[in-house]
Every structure is written in C-alpha cells, then in structure tokens.
Amino acid sequence: MKRFAYSRPTSVSDASDDAAEDGTQIIAGGTTMVDLMKIGVLEPEALVDITGLRDLERYEVGADRMRFGALAKMSTVADDPAVIDAFPALSDSLWKAASPQLRNVATLGGNILQRTRCPYFRDTAYAQCNKRNPGSGCAALDGGETGMHAIFGGSDACVAMYPGDFAQALVAFDAEVTTRGPGGTRSIPFADLHVLPGDDPHIETVLEPGEIVTEIALPMIPAMRNSFYMKARNRESYAFAAASAAVGIEMDGDTVRDVRIALGGVAATPWRATAAEESLKGGPLTEETAREAGRIAFQDAEPLEGSAYKIELGADVVAGALMTAKSRMGGE
Amino acid sequence: MAQTINTEVTRTDARRKVTGTATYAADETPSGMLHGALVCSAIAVGQVTAIDTSAAESEPGVVAVFTHETLPDYKTVKGFYAGGPGSSSFWPMEGTDIRYAGQPVAYVVAETAAAARRGADLVNVTYQEADGSIHMDPEDSFVVGAGEDSEGMVLTKGDLQAGLDEAAQTVDMTFTTPFQHHNPMEMFSATAEWRGDRLTVWMPSQSVRTLRHGIAGAYGLPETSVRVISPFVGGAFGSKAGITPYAMLTIAAAKGVGAPVRLIVTRPQMYTVATFRPESRQQFRLGADAQGRLTAFEHVEIAQTPQFGEIVNPGTHITRAMYACPNIHTEQRLARSDTNSGGFMRAPNEMQTFFGLESAMDELAWKLGMDPVELRRVNDTMTHPTEDVPFSSRSLMESYDAVSNSFGWDQRGREIGSMTDGDWLVGYGCATATYPTNILASNARVRAQGTGNAYVELAAHDVGTGTYTIMAQIAAARLGLPVEAVDVVMGEADLPVAPISGGSTTAASAGSAVHDACVKIAQQLATQISGMSEGPLSGVDPSRITLDDGTLRGPDGQSQSVMEALQMIPEGEIEVVGTFRHPALTDQLIKATFSGGYGTAGPVTPEFAMFAFGAEMVEVRIHKYTHEIRVPRIHSAFAAGTWLNRKTAHSQLMGGMIWGISSALHEVTETDKPRSRFLNANIAEYLVPVNADIREVRVEMLEEQDDYVNPLGVKGIGEIGIVGTAAAIGNAIYHATGKRLTALPMTISDVLST
C-alpha cells in the first residue's frame, strides 16, 4: 500500500475542503476503500476520514419522509423495527448484502458509492481497464469473462456492473441524496447520482471533488409498506447478486395502483424498470402478469457471453419478488 | 480405566487453539528477522526482458530486491511427480522464462511486511509475451508412459464393446470439473534463519522430513544441519505437502541479506505459487442387463497438467475398484496447459472421478427404472473387479442401509419433479464414496514412566485434524493412562521418521507405530518383571505375558498394570522406538519413506484390496423464482475400520461432506482465457459455503473390523467425506428437475439453461 496522509475533520465544511484537494479520497467505514488500497487499485495521496462527523450517523423514520445520515451503519438501519415495518425492502436489501462483519462497519453513504467487483478493475495485473486507467481498454470486452457483467447500461468502453443491493431499494422509491461540497449544499435525485459508463467509465457519479453525501432521504409512499427485496445468489449469504429485484406494490382492491421495480446484479448503475412498472399499473397482479412484467423488464437487455441466463433469471426474480410482496400483503 | 479408543475425546489442543496460544510456524520471529514479499508475473507465457528495481530500492525500509540475476545461492529440487520433493518441476527465477501467470519474478526483503509489499508493488517488470492457454484441450490428450504399462494407466479386462452390445441399457456421458484451490485458512509462509551452515526453517508443512531432506540435499548439507519446524498447521489439504519455490526463495533471500527472513504469501498469490486441483474431463460408458448387473464399464479421465511436467492423480484406479463387471476399460490421460503444477487437493483421485461415476450410475438407474441404491447393491462385490483379490473388508451396502434409514430414503418420490414444498422443488439423491487405504512405513518413540506419564514423539503433523489427540489416545489406551497424561511431540524433522500427512495415512500408519512402541514396552517390561523375585508375574514365561490395554496378563490369570510394573523396575521407565512395517511394504518403499519420500503400499496388495467405503444421501431444494440450489440435509454412513476418536473422526467426515457441498455448488477457480490467468483469486469471489448454506449434517459411523490393514484396524478418514457429495447433489437436482448437470460447480445458470 502506498503511503498516504490522513485527516479526521470534525465539521462537514472542513471535511469538504480537505476532500477537494487533488489526490484525496473520502473514507468512512472503509470496506471498499481499504480493500482497493491494499490491492493497489486506489493509491490516494490523502484520506479524509469522515467518521468524526457524528451528526451524520442519525436517521429517522418520519410520517412523510425517511432520512438516513450518510454515516448510519448498514446493520443498525437493517435491524431497526421502524424501518422493517415501514419499508421492508430497504431492510431486506441491507440484510442480504455483504457479511455481518462488513455490515457492522459499512455506512449507507459508502454503500451507495461502492465500486464494481469487475475482476479486471480489481487486479492491476490487467493493463486494460478504462475505469481504473482511462483509455487503456477493457479486458472484459477483450475476450474476458463476462458472466457477471452488466446487461443493462454498459458501453463499448466498460461493462462493469454496479454490485449494490441497497441502491435498488432507493432507486425504485424515488430517494434523494443531500450533499455538501465546496459549492454548498445540494439535493440530487438518487436516480441521477450514478452515471452510465459511456466513454468515460472512470466517472461513476455526478459528485464533484470535495462533495460529500450527507443524507439519503425517501418520501413515504404506500408501496413501501408492501415491498420486498429478492436476491438470487449462488450461496446463502455473502455473495453478490446473480440477479435481484426491489419491488413494492400498492393495490386498490385487485388493481395495481402503484408499483415499483428496480433490478440488481444486472446493470452498470442502480436500475429502475419503468416499463415493467407501467405494464402492471391499472391491472391485476397475478402470477401471469408478474411474469409478463419480468419479461418486459428484461426485453432490452444486452447479454454478454455467459450472462444470457440473467435475462430469464432476472425476469423470474422480478415475478418472485412481486408475488412475495403480494402474498405478504395478504397476511395483514 | 475409561475407554480411550472408539470414543469421543475432545482434542488435547482445543484450549490452546481457541485462546490463540497454539504456536503456528509464522508465529516465530527469530531475532533480527526481516520480511519478504513476492513480485509475481503479470503474464502467463513469455520472457522477462527487464526488471527495474530502483523505485523499490528507494522505498523506505526496503533492504534488498532480488531478481533472477541477483538472488545468490538459490537452490531448487526435483518435482514430486518426477520423483523429487518439489511442488513443481519448473522453478521460477532461475532465468527469464515465464511459464504461468503469477509466477514469482522478484523477491523483496524489507524491515516491515508493509514496506516489503510496497516495495514489491514498485518493482517494474517488462515482459515479452507469448501465446498461451490456461485451459487444456481435451482433444489433445495423451497417456503417461506407453499404452498398457505396468502402472495400469490403461487397463482392459474382457470385451467392452461386447458388454455394451449385450446391455439392456447403456449410458454414455461426459462430465467436467474445474480448477479448484485449497484456500487453507492459515496462509502459506516460510521463515528461514541461517547460522553459518546451519539452517532453521519454520513452515506449515504436511511433511517436515520431505522438506528437510530436500533442502539439505539442495544445499549439500548434512540433514543434521537443517531443522524444519511445523508445530501446528491451519489447514493444508494437500497444498503444504511439497517444497515450494516460495520456500526456497525465502531460504536463499535469508542467505542473501544475512538475516532471518519471513515470507507470508498473500491470498491472491496463494492461487499461483503452489498447487491446485487440476481441471478434468470424465468420460463414462456403462452398460447393464435388465436386472441392473453391469455388463460394460469404461472410464476415461483426462486431467490437466502443465507444459513442463506430468501430474498424474489416477482416478481410474479408484473407479474401477467400485463395481463388479466382466468388461472393463479405463484410461488415465493428461492434456497440457499453461499453469503452474497442479497437485493433491483433498481426495485428489476421487472427488472429480466420483462426480462422474456416481452421476452416470444414477442415470443408469433411471434408465433401468431401478432404485439407485438397488443398482449399487446388485453390483456390489467382495472381490476387486480388476485385481482379482478380495477386499480386506467392504461395508458399502451396510453404509447404504444405515444412511437410507437415517435419511428416510423410502420417502423419496418415485417420479422426477414429484416433490415440492412451497416455492421449492425438492429432490433426493445418493452416491457412493470410497477411499483407498494407503500404507506407509513409520516409526514412533514412546517413553512410559511409572509415575503415570508417557511421551510420544514422531515426525508426524497435526494439520488441524486432531493427530496430537489420537496419538495420545493410542498410547494412553495401550499403557493404561488417561489421555491427558500423554505428551505428544510432532511437527519437527528431527523426530523419529513418520510419513507425509497425505493420502489419509497418518492415523493408520503413524498410529500403528505408536501402538507397536507400546507393545514393545510391554515385552521389555514382561522380561524384566518376570525375572524379579517378587510380583504377580514373577517367574512367568515372558513370551506368554500379553498386553491388554494397560494390563500385563500372564497365562494363568496373573496380572499387573503396566504402571505398577514400571515402578518395580530400577529405571522406573522404558523408552523404545516402535515401528510399522506392513508386509506389503517392500524394502524399496520403506527406503523411499525413510529418505523423505512417499513410499506407499496399497490399496491393492498381493493378498487384499484395502478401501474404506461409505454412502451419502442429500436433499436438494431449488427455488421456483431464484433458481437457487440449496442443501437442507446431507446424511452419510461410513465404515473405515476402527474409529480412534469418534469426535474428531466425525468432524473430519462432516468437514469432507461440507467441502463436497462446496465442490458441488460453489467452488471454481475462474479463468481469464485471453491472458491465461486465474480470475477470482480471493475468498470473496472464490465461493465456499457460509454457515447459512450448511444445515442438517448427519454422519453414521459404522463398526467394522479389519485385521489386515494394520494392527489398529484403521483405514483413514481424512478424505472419504468429500468423495460422494457432488454426485449425490447432482443426482438430487436431477430428481427434482429432470436436469442432468454434468459440470461442477452446479449453479443457478446451470439449472436455468440445461
């Protein structure tokens, strides 16, 4: 690991100023940052540790909004009865991510900004990686292994997958992030936070240098209460999604009034399946319509070698998540 | 005296291990020790054209950067499969050749481990890259040696084609298994300290004597000048058996800097600097008559081997021992690719071959409309199918009957897809397991004291399985002592000769030497006390005094405890070296073991075929929406001769079964084909089961007596647990879905796309 300077400011404005310096990275729980520094993928000159900003650990489940400070821990939020009651998919998405050790230190702000698990990004022995070394090429697309790469949102420069779970619950339910940067405070729709790789896959978000995510907030909507996060993976825990779906439904009798669907394990960024949502609105939710929504969700997928299975799997997971959310509703 | 054999004994080192006071090799920090770090090749095939070490040398704390041009007095040894002690027959850093990705190309020594690793990052290597392939081409395979050779690489009995022609049903199936890596929890490490011409090496090892013999030979030193110490081992599974390049590089680097050096290999480097389970293809053609009796049996195994050596783990030698059949053909073939040398990984001949064999048998059972257990029953045999000697004992069907009962096999739905539970499809599957009883010469020193103590010393190893405990149990049982009164010293090359901890041999072979030492103590004691003027055995013919677990018994009911008798003799103690020399061990085999090698006899001797047997049954569930494959229940029954310690044996069998679930559903070393690299060289992406994957695991341990294998009647249980699991799971997936999966691991994408 390369030597680095380290600071632990106690105010958001100091942190933002420090983080705006060239070659600086922000560290919170460190579960991504330390990992990538140890394997030489990131070599910051300086780290700004924001865990001294204790105000950012707070969160609340209010009547109209849920607000999560960026430093709230994954495990704390996942286990909170108020969260589980109001928005089960959000708790599920945190519970089904990582391992207990990681969830106990990882923060929500860090979680949404986690980096891809693309093996070519994570191993500096590969000369080609446009995300790690802009302009160097893409080893995955140059004959590499692509069974766990994005089938939505990839480009000719990069097909790395966004690996997170929590973000799917956020993007499906219109979350917003609040940031504080050298230019002041702003609010960004969560759906706009991540950017597609395009020609510049090293740029992953709209955040400016020194801009720190301070809060993640969601408006309370009825579909949250009947929500579920289904995750398909090859072992029971501590595995990235082969495919996942965050869903929520609001029914008016037998008719779908509102439905939310987002897809994990398949896209370059958090991915909302709007067309699938539209297919269900105003109609019944049955095994058949749920499966049709799953098919629609994946109709524009662009599979790579080894990832065609994600289309069928993803469609089934969407259907399964919807049917599970519905069956849980029936229990109330 | 409480029973100490065939009972549950908590391991004697349990407290030390859970409190962190058990000392592992890398815990040693000799005075003045420096730290090593490897620089590993970014390309798979080609040449090093230049190495710029200047940035690394300028890094604070870096003491030296060695390359193939600057590493002094670096020695190598012959590879294991070429008859030597080495883990590979190609040695990196002898020149500019790159033969596999991740091959060491430079070695950094620094004052701290962090500085050494940073220094390694800063070494700038330039290569000339050539084409390679990490995967074998099974169409371009060959048989080691020439055709029908004495090693049985190709074997023909009867007329295979006639057997296929006359069969009522046949199967013709090909299975594949991937590269896998051992991933022991304890990292690979080596610490070397030179004092003049005397060398001490601390290193986790399955064979301290192999290490010492090889290192002393390479440096032209007498063995007495080399100490090799490996007190505890945190998992090995075959990966810590031979002399590795990283060990010899560390020894040379310590000499080069004139100070002790410790290297701890990083987890990603562990995938390339030592051995692995080679990928394989398993081709089976089976035929059976309408009653299920096999009329034809063909198995062709094609296993991966590097460009520079022949790695032969002859699985066909094991599969052809399984079932009676008049017409048998087997071939052991290899195909080359650009990797380091593979080697042994838990059940190296059996895991991948039994996935094929037992899946093919299941397919045959479905075609015949037979219960798969009954298909095994009609083909069970007490005579080795190709060697024409009886099995010394064989409890295969006893195992099936016991596990059927435990598992509830009779609850199995008769049709494919006939069992469901909510959103889950349910399937049951079974498979046979076997493991050969390998025999190695061993010595052991035992000192028994009338004060109620004994000391056992031998150059065996506890690779985490409980060897310290079972050696203490054997001596305690024979001498009439509590287990905790026996001190066991192992893991040092200076101790009496004991075999490599591999091939499930330690308990059987080294344990038999401990047993023999105790018998010899009793004989000496009988001679001494029978000549005394007093005592219960005074005047008794010593040749008629026998040892009965702690008691010396005369022919007419006279008896005295061993401890009392020891108190009567003037020395108060007796020290002897016990030996185990099974009649099947030739002088040549004994010589091989005593010179640091692997002189194994069996499993087939001129008199008997020696194997342990077992059967496994699993319940598999496959989710309707996520297509996840889960194993809520796995049951087994094994018969492997005498159980020494029912607790540690149970743990080993259970561990093997769990690793079998891993092989079936999780484990694969993925590859980057264009650049011939292993892709997921870390334990986040190289999946093994987590606790949540392992639910009900039950093991039935059957009683079995086998007086031929060794005086203890022990067959060895280190590996059999893994052998049948993958096929049992694949067979259960077939039962649940009608999909026959033929490649490991079996994953979500496989159940979707088949």
* A246 & A175 share domain: no
Please compute Rg for chain A using Cα positions: 20
- What is the complex's ipTM, to 2 decimals? 0.97
Which one of A125, A308, A319 has the shortest CB-CB distance to B42?
A125
User: In angstroms, what separates the C-alpha of A65 from chain B's closest C-alpha?
Assistant: 32
Q: For position A330, what pLDDT does the model report? A: 61
Please compute Rg for chain B using Cα positions: 27
- Decide if A309 and B752 are in contact by the 8 Å CB cutoff: yes
Q: For residue A27, what is the domain's CATH number?
A: 3.30.43.10
Mean pLDDT, residues B318-334 taken together:
97
Residue B546 lies in a domain: yes
Residue B3 has pLDDT above 90, yes or no: no
Q: How confident is the model at residue B152 (pLDDT cuts 50, 70, 90)?
A: confident
Which one of B101, B121, B687 has the shortest CB-CB distance to A239?
B687
Measure the CA–CA gap between B681 and B183, rounded to whole angstroms.
Answer: 10
* B105 & B217 share domain: yes
* B173 & B115 share domain: no
Our CA dihedral for A276, A281, A285, A289, rounded to 10 degrees, sits at -40
Q: For residue B577, what is the domain's CATH number?
A: 3.30.365.10
- Decide if A235 and B680 are in contact by the 8 Å CB cutoff: no
Partners of A242 on chain B (C-beta within 8 Å) are 748-749
Q: End of a domain among B252, B270, B288? A: B270
- pLDDT tens across A103-139, in order? 999 999 999 999 999 999 999 999 999 999 999 999 9
Query: Annotated catalytic sites of B, by residue?
Result: 719
* A276 & A171 share domain: no
Q: How confident is the model at residue B81 (pLDDT cuts 50, 70, 90)?
A: confident
Q: End of a domain among A174, A196, A219? A: A219
Partners of B745 on chain A (C-beta within 8 Å) are 234
- Decide if A231 and B670 are in contact by the 8 Å CB cutoff: no
* Structural domain span for residue B56: 18-131+185-236+240-270
SS3 per residue for chain A = CCCCEEECCCCHHHHHHHHCCCCEEEECCCCCHHHHHHCCCCCCCEEEEHHHCHHHHCEEECCCEEEEECCCEHHHHHHCHHHHHHCHHHHHHHHCCCCHHHHHHCEHHHHHCCCCCCCCCCCCCCCCECCCCCCCCECCCCCCCCCCCCCECCCCCCCCCCCCCHHHHHHHCCCEEEEEECCEEEEEEHHHHECCCCCCCCCCECCCCCCEEEEEEEECCHHHHCEEEEEECCCCCCCCCCEEEEEEEEEECCEEEEEEEEEECCECCCEECHHHHHHHCCCCCCHHHHHHHHHHHCCCCCCCCCCCHHHHHHHHHHHHHHHHHHHHHHCC
User: In angstroms, what separates the C-alpha of B431 from chain A's closest C-alpha?
Assistant: 23
Residue B4 lies in a domain: no
Closest residue, chain B, to A123 (C-alpha): B679
Mean pLDDT of chain B: 96
Q: For position B146, what pLDDT does the model report? A: 58
On the question of a cis peptide bond just before residue B745, with omega within 30 degrees of 0, the verdict is: yes
What's the total number of domains in chain B?
Answer: 3
Q: End of a domain among B594, B621, B643? A: B594
Residue B445 has pLDDT above 50, yes or no: yes
* B146 & B65 share domain: no
User: With left for phi above 0 and alpha for psi between -120 and 50, is residue B455 left, alpha or beta?
Assistant: beta
Residue B36 has pLDDT above 50, yes or no: yes
Q: End of a domain among B550, B565, B594? A: B594
Mean pLDDT, residues B703-720 taken together:
97
Q: How confident is the model at residue B1 (pLDDT cuts 50, 70, 90)?
A: low
Q: For residue B194, what is the domain's CATH number?
A: 3.90.1170.50
* A196 & A313 share domain: no
- Decide if A316 and B268 are in contact by the 8 Å CB cutoff: no
Q: Minimal CA–CA distance to B236: which of B186, B286, B190?
A: B186
* B431 & B481 share domain: no
Q: How confident is the model at residue B144 (pLDDT cuts 50, 70, 90)?
A: confident
Residue A95 lies in a domain: yes
What percent of chain B shows pLDDT beyond 70? Answer: 99
* A27 & A108 share domain: no
- Decide if B687 and A231 are in contact by the 8 Å CB cutoff: no
Task: Tell me which of A95, A123, A311 to substitute to probe the interface with B (most B C-beta atoms closer than 10 Å).
Answer: A123
User: In angstroms, what separates the C-alpha of A37 from chain B's closest C-alpha?
Assistant: 11
* A171 & A271 share domain: no
Chain A residue set in contact with B, beta carbons under 8 Å:
1-3, 39-40, 99, 117, 119-120, 123, 125-127, 139, 142-145, 147, 230-239, 242, 306, 308-309, 312-313, 316-317, 319-321, 323
* A45 & A192 share domain: no
What's the total number of domains in chain A?
Answer: 3
- pLDDT tens across B223-262, in order? 999 999 999 999 999 999 999 999 999 999 999 999 999 9
Which one of A39, A236, A309 has the shortest CB-CB distance to B693?
A236
Residue B341 lies in a domain: yes
* Structural domain span for residue A19: 5-52
- Decide if A230 and B625 are in contact by the 8 Å CB cutoff: yes
* A264 & A313 share domain: yes
Q: For position B626, what pLDDT does the model report? A: 98
Residue A171 lies in a domain: yes
Measure the CA–CA gap between A269 and A275, rounded to whole angstroms.
Answer: 17
* A69, A55 contact by CB (below 8 A): yes
Residue A107 lies in a domain: yes
- pLDDT tens across B621-648, in order? 999 999 999 999 999 999 999 999 999 9
Task: Tell me which of B625, B691, B750 to substitute to probe the interface with A (most A C-beta atoms closer than 10 Å).
Answer: B625
Q: For position B150, what pLDDT does the model report? A: 54
Residue B9 lies in a domain: no
Q: End of a domain among A195, A219, A243? A: A219
User: In angstroms, what separates the C-alpha of B684 from chain A's closest C-alpha?
Assistant: 8
Partners of B628 on chain A (C-beta within 8 Å) are 232-234
List, in order, residues 6 or more apart from B69 with CB less than 8 Å away: B51
Residue A182 lies in a domain: yes
- pLDDT tens across B446-493, in order? 999 999 999 999 999 999 999 999 999 999 999 999 999 999 999 999
- Decide if A119 and B680 are in contact by the 8 Å CB cutoff: yes
Q: How confident is the model at residue B754 (pLDDT cuts 50, 70, 90)?
A: low
Residue A66 lies in a domain: yes
> ∠ CA B493-B496-B500 to the nearest 5 degrees?
60
And the tokens for B573?
A: 């103690």
- Decide if A143 and B674 are in contact by the 8 Å CB cutoff: yes
Partners of A1 on chain B (C-beta within 8 Å) are 114, 117-118, 121
Q: How confident is the model at residue B145 (pLDDT cuts 50, 70, 90)?
A: confident
Mean pLDDT, residues A10-36 taken together:
96
Partners of B627 on chain A (C-beta within 8 Å) are 232, 313, 316
* A107 & A231 share domain: no
Q: For position A331, what pLDDT does the model report? A: 47
Task: Tell me which of A41, A236, A311 to substitute to probe the interface with B (most B C-beta atoms closer than 10 Å).
Answer: A236
Q: For position A332, what pLDDT does the model report? A: 44
* A293 & A228 share domain: yes
